[in-house]
Amino acid sequence: MPPRLFAITTLSLLTALANAFAPHPHRTRHVVPAIHPTTGVSHRTPATTLRPNTELSNLLTDLTNLLTNNGGVEPETDLPYHPPLSEELSIASGERTFAIRERAITFTGEDFDILDISDAQTDFVRVRGAMLHLPGKDKMRISSSSTGRTYVTMDRVLIAATPSYDLYRHNDDGSIQKIGWIEKKLISFMDTFDVYMEGKGGFGVTGLFKPTPAYRIEGDFLDRNFSFKNAQGKIVARANMDGWIQFDMMNHYQVRVGEGMDALLVLACVCCIDEEFDEEHKKRRQENE
């Protein structure tokens, strides 16, 4: 095996092991006795959850990026669906960078403003959550900042083995079509999300009978540092923290999208992942106080 390939493979394996087995000294799991309010029976419940060693994982991830393509993104040459989610906004002739900001004042807790900062800071799309919905049944919509037209709806699946969102396209004729879904991988060495396309076959919840995901999303989701890989293993999009300080009520981070990749699909998935890890992010902040 060539030395460069051996180094990349070794670092990738170490990254997976760090995420799976290395507990953070401030986030180790312990239990405390509790009394059942009805029976009075004492039992033990977990006080915290086991979290991966984020610092070690980030270091290994950065080293892997350095050996591969310096954290860049590659063009997507085979988009797994047609047409893209928006003829005007989805695809560009070059790489683009977006800034995602969670609104400080929101009535749903799921509102984001997204700017295209590739050349200048221009409003791109906005994401708004539903005002009225069932508990645990989140719904978000992506609309153009300039025209207000809705292009994508992300609808959380109420009953699912893992956190999942169905992805819907809003067509020109006014119809709404499910194009796929994003779900958290049930069995994995590290936190992973898979994006599947509708109508590609397969069934089941364990992954044994499912089709190959169109995209796999891996990395450190709590610190907004993760990448999108297509079915060929190419990194076609990345999300990274923007700035030194992360504010829970006003998240701000960057998303880089490769040429030919559907930016609206990437942004939809990022917002779904953000919602899933928002509670964990709040818990981590409380643990560090």
Q: Which ranges in the chain belong to alpha helices (H)?
A: 3-21, 54-68, 263-288
Structure confidence by residue, pLDDT tens digits, 110-152:
789 999 999 888 999 999 987 555 555 678 999 999 999 999 9
Structure tokens, 150: 């809705």
Highest mean pLDDT among 4-18, 130-144, 214-228: 214-228
Name which residue leads in pLDDT, 24 or 159.
159
Neighbours of 244 (CB within 10 A): 5
* pLDDT at 243 > cutoff 60: no
Q: Are the C-beta atoms of residues 151 and 167 closer than 8 Å to each other?
A: no
Neighbours of 13 (CB within 10 A): 12
* pLDDT at 49 > cutoff 70: no
Neighbours of 92 (CB within 10 A): 15
Averaged over 250-271, what is the pLDDT?
A: 90
Three-state SS for 11? helix
Residue 103: pLDDT band with limits 50, 70, 90 = confident
β-bridge partners, 241? 253
Cα–Cα distance, 218 to 103 (Å, whole number) = 25
- pLDDT for 67: 43
Q: Are the C-beta atoms of residues 123 and 140 closer than 8 Å to each other?
A: no
Q: Which has the minimum average pLDDT: 2-16, 22-36, 135-149, 157-171?
A: 22-36
Phi, psi of 165 (to 5 degrees): -130, 130
Residue 201: pLDDT band with limits 50, 70, 90 = low
